Amino acid sequence: MLMNIDEIRRYLPHRYPFLLVDRVLEIQDGRILAIKNVTVNEPFFPGHFPHHPVMPGVLIIEAMAQVAALLSCKTEDVIPTEDSVVLFAGIDNARFKRQVVPGDQILFEVRLAQSKRGIYKYKGIARVDGAIAVEADLMCALRIKP
């Protein structure tokens, strides 16, 4: 299953400059593969760092959480509305192993580890050119607004 940016925008409430997923390549059996193309025009590069631009690790984790949210929605066959949202609920075991710089393409692989009553736990890996850049355990919660 492939999701282009238009379909991603149907499932995620994020918009520029905070939508950090460009394409979903595959969703199957509790696993999702998605990409983020990192360009020199990203709004964070002028300040992080001017002479050696590096994508902030927290934004790589946020992108991974957005990918996990897409998997949550597709797994439950839910399109979030104004009355529902998938929230980033926790992170454990985050490890940063490689810098991500302009021109890189991040390949996210997120696998569902456990789900119970609208709480989802995931194992996520972000790779650049086949090398692990970031890995983390994530938790997301699907919530309906009262």
Catalytic residues: 48
> How many distinct helices (H) and strands (E) make up the chain?
2, 6
Residue 135, CB-side half-sphere exposure with 13 Å CA sphere: 7
Query: Which residues have C-beta within 8 Å of that of residue 4, sequence separation ≥ 6?
Result: 23
Tell me how far apart the alpha carbons of residues 123 and 29 are, in angstroms, rounded to a whole number. Answer: 14
